[in-house]
Structure 1
């Protein structure tokens, strides 16, 4: 259980791993996630389920090495074991059948956007996809998106591939030209999701965002993943992770995601210092 059976680097610092987790693979649904710990003393990391195979009992996870815990995860190799892994967690995404949907993914969350887009396409929907990254080398899942999208638009901050700019600008141009969607679904950095919500609100287009705030237990008991939606406190781990984008208090969410930034930097420095000592 929890054995890594495949590993691949998709972009600088972005890893894909396949993990043997038959119980999770049998029950997983679109939009759900897992929480794992690399070692007993590590923090818990929530990661989207990108794919799962009930027959083989394998799940696919994609993550970016940012802090100490994700770097620890990235250091594991095929044949290594993850200390503990729980899931599937969260409510499944609502898949639109035979509609026209715009799926937007930014950065490492392009992988999660692909999972939703593929399910929508399989349900008979027309899928327009917008994927974005800082630069061309950070783009992932391009070929996969080309296979399942009726239209794919790539945007990079520096213009090194596709349109130069941000997904909200791309979407705004499409809406101004009269394009219609039954659903806009966005997953990625909080600021990206906020901008998408602000872009679609004047057009009254149903817009859903997948939130990934700080989490601990993943069952709604700790309250760490609390978000305000429509003026009410909700928990991303049990009430989400999908929420109506026009009701999310993004300013509060941004503030909460930055609460432990200093501690995260300290933990990373300690990890790097410890590894350097071990290498000597």
Structure 2
């Protein structure tokens, strides 16, 4: 059992949890994730590590209410326990000294990219962060990202805060103005990551995305998280989750992520009905 030490809502549908998990905290690296179950009959869901403290023996996870399981998760409180938390899983991000790194986060992906922003800065890079959300109310981690960024750009889809538009618009403008960017890392919704890849492709800028396919075991056995990269099948859990954005088949990824929408709808209705 893994005890929840603290829980807070960052916005109406996104909650942050600090969880007691000393063995995971000792080994965690940027870009990795865990798989958790709320109880013995629960669904296994992957969540990217947002932060960790080997000294405290804790990890921090951020969850967006996207279905029945994440709604149940976000209803928990400090003092509650999770049945399982397995990790750290996946290949760590390739942190190094590249020069200028643009870290692009959309929605809850901002929380996922935060440890990479911090790590790239610590490695001696100039870090340009571009973060965005649909509305001001849904924007998270602005100040945390700002702390480790040499330059921060913020967008909202509806213009309710900062610049109106998309993160890909900002990146496109920077590149068209001739800004030298040596590496782009993007985490967020599939359409956002695809848009970032198309922006950087004509400029030949190395671009990495963290993929979020449906996942079950997280160790490469089930094949549920398979994605197509460079025309070959890869497993996001063991080969990723980070891949060359210019090689990813985003349309196939989006189609696979929609596969169980009806089952998710039914599960959510049952949860709301108390069944």
Bin for the TM-score computed over the shorter chain: over 0.9
1:122 has 2:152 as partner: no
DSSP 3-state at the match of 2:197: helix
| Partner SS state of residue 273, structure 2 | helix
1:188-230 Cα distance to aligned partner (Å, 9 max, x none):
0001000000000000000000001100000111000000000
Taking structure 2 as the reference length, the TM-score comes to: 0.98
Q: Per-residue deviation at 1:132? A: 0.4
Instruction: Report if the CA contact (8 A) 2:207-2:245 is conserved.
Output: yes
SS at match of 1:170: helix
Q: Pick which of 137-146 and 229-238 moved more.
A: 137-146
Unpaired runs of 5+ residues, structure 1, are: 276-280
CA displacement at 1:156 relative to structure 2: 0.3
2:65 aligned with 1:37:
no
- Find the counterpart in structure 2 of residue 231 from structure 1: 231
**Structure 1 position 131 matched with structure 2 position 131:** yes
1:265 & 1:160 partners in 2: Cα distance? Answer: 30
| Residues 166-201 of structure 1: CA deviation (Å, up to 9, x unaligned) | 111111111110011110000000010000000000
Following superposition of structure 1 onto structure 2, how do residues 78-157 of structure 1 map, counting pairs within 5 Å? 78-97=78-97, 99-157=99-157
Q: Quick one: distance in 1 between partners of 2:172 and 2:238? A: 32
C-alpha distance in structure 1 between counterparts of 2:199 and 2:176, whole Å: 10
Residue 96 of structure 1: how far off its partner (Å): 2.6
Equivalent position of 2:220 in the other structure: 220
Looking at structure 1, the residues matched to 98 and 234 of structure 2 have their Cα atoms a distance apart, in angstroms, of: 30
Where does residue 167 of structure 1 map in the other structure?
A: 167
SS in 2 for 1:49: strand
4+ long deviations beyond 6 Å: none
Give the CA deviation at 1:98. 5.4
Unaligned runs of at least 5 residues, structure 2: none
- Measure, in 2, the Cα distance between the counterparts of 1:114 and 1:84: 24
* Cα distance per residue 1:239-273 (max 9 Å; x no partner): 00000000000110010000001110110000100
SS at match of 1:196: helix
Aligned residues: 275
TM-score, scaled relative to structure 1: 0.97
RMSD over aligned Cα atoms = 0.9
CA contact (8 A) 2:98 2:182 kept: no
